[in-house]
Amino acid sequence: MEKITLKQAYKNYFDIGVAINPGVLEYGHELIKAEFSGITCENEMKPASVQPERNRFTFEKADMLADFAAENNLKIRGHTLVWHNQTGEWMYKDSNKNNLPKEILYSYMQEHIDTVVKRYAGKIYCWDVVNEAVSDIDGEYLREKSPYFEIAGSEEFIEKAFVYAHEADPGALLFYNDYDTENPEKREKIYKLLKSLKDKNIPVHGVGLQAHYDIYFDVGELQKSIDLFSSLGLIIHITELDVSVYKFDERGVDFETLPEDRLKTQTELYSQIFAVLRENKDKIGGVTFWGLDDKASWLNGFPVKRTNHPLLFGRDGKPKEAYGRVTGF
């Protein structure tokens, strides 16, 4: 039987993307081209990567990855414009480390968004405009420790970000992106934010579910998130999919070779996740894996150093059993 690749298997469903960086591209370009229909830059388009200091733009790596995508007919998701991490402090602090006045923050945000979005207009088809602004803390709505929130005092900075991005490229689809979107309390907060943006006619078109899951994840929660967010008329993207073989706070275990039971649980879960995604294909525009293969995954270093096995391709770059289940439905 002829081998079906991921993008072939899903061509009537949704785009299948992968987050890459220059190191992964060097050894993985053939696999990327064969299996995926799009890419996201893992770090290279984040604020700290493209504008480490005010008005010093460094686009070399981002351009290199964007050129690779263009040459090979791959779509590009832009990630990300406004985030409290991986952003130069100049964006929100003065030289004495005090928060900037609001008007200055907004003007710096606008300069950044305008420059980056216009550079890739027509190439990047969608942007994660704001990443992770909603709080994980019980009873706290937005992340109040973020300098953006400290300065803005409300969700206004989120609204501004979307407006600036839309002005810079009216053709791009604009997303709010977050993790733990399947946690019931956080899901409600994200819904509240998105509803409020929609009610104010802010140009937001989609929501990115990062989907950093582990093998104990309950797919029923994924269906609930898809239902709730799509009820607002938003497109759903799965933006950073991986399935850790450890519980987040599990310590004292580090499997170089994964025990059969965990491998089996992961294989089953991948199969279930994609069954849910296929059933919702009219609501889902794309599914992106956060890394090409197990050795390239950020989960080998986060939240602790351990050998993780979260993706469909193993350390040897070969497809795992889960790959067969995801492509052979």
Cβ count near 72 (within 10 Å): 12
Among 5, 37, 131, 225, binds ligand GLA (CB under 6 A): 131
Contacts of 250 (CB under 8 A, 6+ apart): none
Which of 43, 230 has the CB closer to ligand GLA? 43
Residues 294-323 that bind ligand GLA (CB under 6 A): 298
User: What is the spatial distance between Cα 290 and Cα 240, in angstroms, rounded to a whole number?
Assistant: 4
Is 221 one of the annotated active-site residues of the chain?
Answer: no
Min separation Cβ 47 and ligand GLA, Å: 11
Q: Answer whether 311's CB lies under 8 Å from 293's CB.
A: yes
Residue nearest to ligand GLA (CB): 298
Residues 201-220 that bind ligand GLA (CB under 6 A): 210
Q: Is 59 in the site for ligand GLA (CB under 6 A)?
A: no
Catalytic residue among 35, 132, 159, 182: 132
Residues 227-246 that bind ligand GLA (CB under 6 A): 240
DSSP state of 89: G
Helix (H) / strand (E) element for 103: namely: helix 102-119
Site string for ligand GLA, 269-298 (x = CB under 6 A): -----------------------------x
For residue 173, the cross-strand partners are 126
Is 156 one of the annotated active-site residues of the chain?
Answer: no
Q: Answer whether 22's CB lies under 8 Å from 65's CB.
A: yes
Peptide bond preceding 80 in cis form (omega within 30 of 0) = yes
User: What is the spatial distance between Cα 34 and Cα 285, in angstroms, rounded to a whole number?
Assistant: 20
Min separation Cβ 131 and ligand GLA, Å: 5
Nearest alpha carbon to residue 118 among 162, 171, 157: 171
Q: Is 176 in the site for ligand GLA (CB under 6 A)?
A: no
Query: How many chain residues bind ligand GLA (CB under 6 A)?
Result: 6
Min separation Cβ 44 and ligand GLA, Å: 11
| Residues near ligand GLA (CB under 6 A) | 79, 131, 179, 210, 240, 298
Cite the active site residues: 132, 240
